[in-house]
Amino acid sequence: MLGRDRIQYKTTDQIRLMRKAGLVVADALDAVRAALRPGVTTKELDAVAHDVIRSAGAVPSFLGYGHPPFPAVTCISVNEEIVHGIPGARVVREGDVVSVDCGAILSGWHGDSAFTAVVPRADGTVDPRDADLSAVTESSMWHGIAAIRAGERLGEIGGAVEDHVADRYGLVEDYGGHGIGTEMHQAPHVLNYRTRDKGPRMRAGLCVAIEPMLAAGDPASRELADGWTVATRDGGKAAHWEHSVALHDGGIWVLTARDGGEAALGALGVKVAPLAD
Ligand code: MG
Ligand code: MG
């Protein structure tokens, strides 16, 4: 839908600024991950992210976004919720599948990232089916990121995500990734599946958030009455992973990953290209 709108191509200096925003988001998500345990409320987790963003001198991008204005700095989506869950009084329980999405603005540049975690039971174990759902969602994201290459079509990203998921899980098609820069959501829209129209060729300066969502069962979704939360229709669990990625003359750099994506992409044979300060 946004695929043919103008893409904001970034200079290397602008990508360096986006990296700083990306690291604020990484710090916020790490802090939430450390605080995630049975008994904590999703509102308390949101406050943890807010503190990190505020301390960094950054601005939360989700707060007040859209209509109705989003009332928090993270989206926290539990179990059958796929994305856009509103933090509140809900208490996290053992075995919950919790997706946390966070965005921040630093010096006018945005970062956007999400992870899913399965909350261990008292004995430290998790349901292996839930762990696999999250792991395949994460690896599908890395396969999508690995497909970002100058000269290739944007549609290679969704093709790589779809090929990796294959028939193991339901691929949520109603939401996707997006360009990111001086706005959280920019052109192009990045699909998580293959289409006949493969879209524009990627080139240096492209910055995109890659964010596949998988459902354990049917991926059909519905929006809840709060105007935000998106959940599976069949009540099956879902997972969501996201990173913001820059393509520059030297290659790709995962702006919201502390190691720039080196470990996960290295395992796929892709060498990341961090920009020196
Ligand atoms: Mg996000
Ligand atoms: Mg996003």
pLDDT of residue 169 exceeding 80: yes
pLDDT of residue 46 exceeding 90: yes
| Ligand 1 centroid – CA 198 distance (Å) | 23
Number of domains in the chain: 1
pLDDT of residue 140 exceeding 80: yes
Average pLDDT over residues 223-244: 98
Residue 167 forms part of a structural domain: yes
Per-residue pLDDT reduced to its tens digit, 234-258: 999 999 999 999 999 999 999 999 9
Per-residue confidence band for 2, with pLDDT thresholds at 50, 70 and 90: very low
Residue 190 forms part of a structural domain: yes
| Ligand 1 centroid – CA 123 distance (Å) | 32
> For all residues of the chain together, what is the average pLDDT?
97
Per-residue pLDDT reduced to its tens digit, 62-91: 999 999 999 999 999 999 999 999 999 999
Residue 82 forms part of a structural domain: yes
Given this model, what pLDDT does residue 1 score? 45
| Ligand 2 centroid – CA 116 distance (Å) | 14
Residue 277 forms part of a structural domain: no
| Ligand 2 centroid – CA 217 distance (Å) | 23
Given this model, what pLDDT does residue 5 score? 74
Ligand index nearest the alpha carbon of residue 186: 2
Given this model, what pLDDT does residue 4 score? 55
Given this model, what pLDDT does residue 277 score? 86
More confident residue, 206 or 4: 206
Average pLDDT over residues 48-52: 98
pLDDT of residue 3 exceeding 80: no
**Is the pTM higher than 0.95?**
yes
Average pLDDT over residues 126-139: 98
Neighbouring-strand partners of residue 97: 118
Given this model, what pLDDT does residue 117 score? 98
Average pLDDT over residues 10-34: 98
Which residue segment(s) compose the domain that 249 sits in?
A: 12-266
Residue 19 forms part of a structural domain: yes
Residue 206 forms part of a structural domain: yes
| Ligand 2 centroid – CA 114 distance (Å) | 8
Encoded tokens for 40 = 């904590």
Residue 177 forms part of a structural domain: yes
| Ligand 2 centroid – CA 184 distance (Å) | 7
| Ligand 1 centroid – CA 131 distance (Å) | 21
| Ligand 1 centroid – CA 215 distance (Å) | 17
Average pLDDT over residues 122-149: 98
Average pLDDT over residues 121-139: 97
CATH number, domain at 174?
A: 3.90.230.10
Asked if 165 and 140 touch (Cβ cutoff 8 Å), the reply is yes
Ligand index nearest the alpha carbon of residue 177: 2
Ligand index nearest the alpha carbon of residue 84: 1
Residue 157 forms part of a structural domain: yes
Quote the percentage of the chain above a pLDDT of 70.
99
| Ligand 1 centroid – CA 19 distance (Å) | 16
